[in-house]
A and B are shown apart, each in its own frame.
Chain A
């Protein structure tokens, strides 16, 4: 009884406090309008930014990519690697005040695994079934050992949805998502705004200080920045690298950065249809020549004011899984020309270079074109609208394709599907049984050192065959007003809202 009294008076006090100081609202400018807000059906990077405030995951990552607990407290993998036992956090409720327990976790995982149109299926493909051990423990039984599992659970596959709401709404759940995150969904006007407000029953509510968050998709980067300057927004994502100087010079603004998990690269058609039969597709030497022709430092300097980081692998040089034995190559025109000669090339090599629409990618393509021309490779730029380019890439109607990957926490997400024979993202048509075997092996050990050893062999092969030329890694650039404190950028680019305060 006394407890209740205290709770009521505390609530009243809190009410009085909010009445006294106006409700605080954080306005976040997004670069695009997110797709559906259902963790099972969602696909976009920008959607993940919004999920960061409404849907907590079983695990999260810290700035060094270590897995840290969120809705789960711990995980333990059996010695044969085929079962993973996860302890859940007690006293957690969903935003409809339903209880989060082992049954709910099992429901969410199974929803990801079985729902029609679920994009989480490949991420959880290794899962055979999920058992409820006790109300706060689940056991995930795998078909075969699968090291990236826990990393998958730090992303959308680890997001827990309220079983009651999910059952009631079916595939429309994304129109009113109910999860176990710090903010609950209020409303969405497509292409205009998404509004969420603080959920009082959140397990970590004492670290949530802002009452309301409004996400506003503002496509034009210059306008996003203007909004931040005029006070219309408090935080914006994807600041242009070329605008950073202006942000740093403004004493009312702060910049938060981290190196991305993904990469920017160039797919080369090495095995898909007729287009792969040119000198570039046929000869690894010509590809190496192109690789050496590109001055990555100059490229990032020219197009991105040197803010982005040159790279040569599917993870950045700062990533724990980066293979230091294979450093980013320096430009070497003489060697490249020699390689061309070795490959038996006499004339100039024309390359059909497919470039998705976009001012920045176009500038990158133009610089690459100029660099390649010096070693005798004529990259013929063909600007292609993105949807068309995907189709053409799938059909092998290109010779080189400038493509970005937003990146996943586990390196497997940047690698496997791109190089495994006939895998969905393998646009290059690369097919190497040795690599396939190594890729499968790399998924087994949970010990990072053992995986590193396998990856070293993979790197050796891929950096010889060059189906993808890795170019650079973007810096995630977030700018916010000085009024906002407590913001820290993680490498996955998401905007985490715990601990944020508005002065």
Chain B
């Protein structure tokens, strides 16, 4: 991109915006993406300012108000030991958003380079990486989780690492598959023919083409990670009680689906909204970064 910018005559330069700015402008054109950004921003603000927003201490129990339906005093109701569900959903956003974003970040930053390597280089490296990926994918999540829980000890950070590790193979596989179908395209052949180095072809020509699929998978994996955090906290690796996360709130709600449905509805809705928003932003980004679109 910068290469072409240099060739542009000075007079027109002012009218040419940087790729980032153009992407931003395009993103801002999409109502859905703006909505998504807005919700995510809202969640982040809420997570940061949680102590100022919540009407109650999220771990404060009220034994005289156990499993109360939503009311003016508790707009989302109370949970099984009398804690305010609204306050817990607000505080839960910290653990859950963190778990979702960081673990997917880990998976992306490890999985994509390895997938590029495997798909593009092929041969022995591909075979080796593919076998390792297969083995990891074939290993049940729960075994890895218990072993890691024992090793790392309970903490939210370790839970993110564990989820990140188990999510990585999916990104390797996906990237590899995408690269394999892209690398035979004419323009790649052309780029190679001109003598571009391999790493450059991989980053400049292949990566942008597989980006949409990665964005989609990453935004979807956030949902899976938020739910996986709950499973891990159950095994002693994630957020430990009494501190809330959306996933562990859902876990606790399972026994009360019929007698106190609000315990499941609100954290469930929070997960849905955040996942929806990440996906909408992902879609917007996809369009915005597409070089073929205006």
Contact = CB atoms under 8 A, between A and B. Distances in A.
Q: Are A and B direct contacts in the complex by CB distance below 8 Å?
A: yes
B80 interface: yes
Contacts of B67: 242
Q: Determine the main DSSP class of B at the interface with A.
A: loop
Nearest to A384: B236
A367 interface: yes
A141 interface: no
A303 B66 CA distance: 9
Contacts of B258: 222, 243, 246
A365 interface: yes
Given A222-B258, A363-B252, A385 B241 contact: no
Interface string A384-395: 110010000000
Interface string A283-320: 00000000000000010011100000000000000000
B236 A359 contact: no
Given A242-B255, A246-B259, A366 B233 contact: no
B254 A222 contact: yes
Contacts of B149: 385, 388
A221 interface: yes
A221 B235 contact: no
Nearest to B254: A359
B177 to A, nearest CB: 35
A381 interface: yes
A242 B259 contact: yes
A240 interface: yes
Interface string B33-66: 0000000000000000000000000010101001
A370 interface: yes
Contacts of B242: 366, 369-370, 381
A247 to B, nearest CB: 11
A403 to B, nearest CB: 16
Nearest to A226: B258
A385 B254 CA distance: 18
Given A383-B235, A383-B241, A384-B236, A222 B255 contact: yes
A446 interface: no
Contacts of A370: 59, 61, 81, 242
Contact of A383 (B80, B81, B146, B236): B236
A484 B235 CA distance: 39
A242 B150 CA distance: 33
B117 to A, nearest CB: 36
Contacts of A359: 251-252, 254-255
B3 to A, nearest CB: 55
B150 A302 contact: no
Contacts of A381: 240-242
Contacts of B146: 385, 388
Contact of B234 (A363, A369, A383): A383
Interface of B: 59, 61, 63, 66-67, 80-82, 146, 149-150, 154, 233-236, 240-242, 251-252, 254-259
Nearest 5 interchain pairs by C-beta: A383-B236, A384-B236, A370-B61, A302-B63, A366-B242
Given A220-B254, A302-B63, A382-B236, 11 more contacts: A221-B255, A222-B257, A242-B80, A302-B80, A302-B81, A355-B241, A360-B255, A362-B241, A370-B61, A381-B240, A381-B242
13 contacts: A220-B254, A222-B254, A302-B63, A359-B251, A366-B81, A367-B63, A370-B61, A381-B241, A382-B236, A383-B154, A385-B146, A385-B149, A385-B235
Interface of A: 220-222, 240, 242-243, 245-246, 298, 301-303, 355, 357, 359-360, 362-363, 365-367, 369-370, 380-385, 388
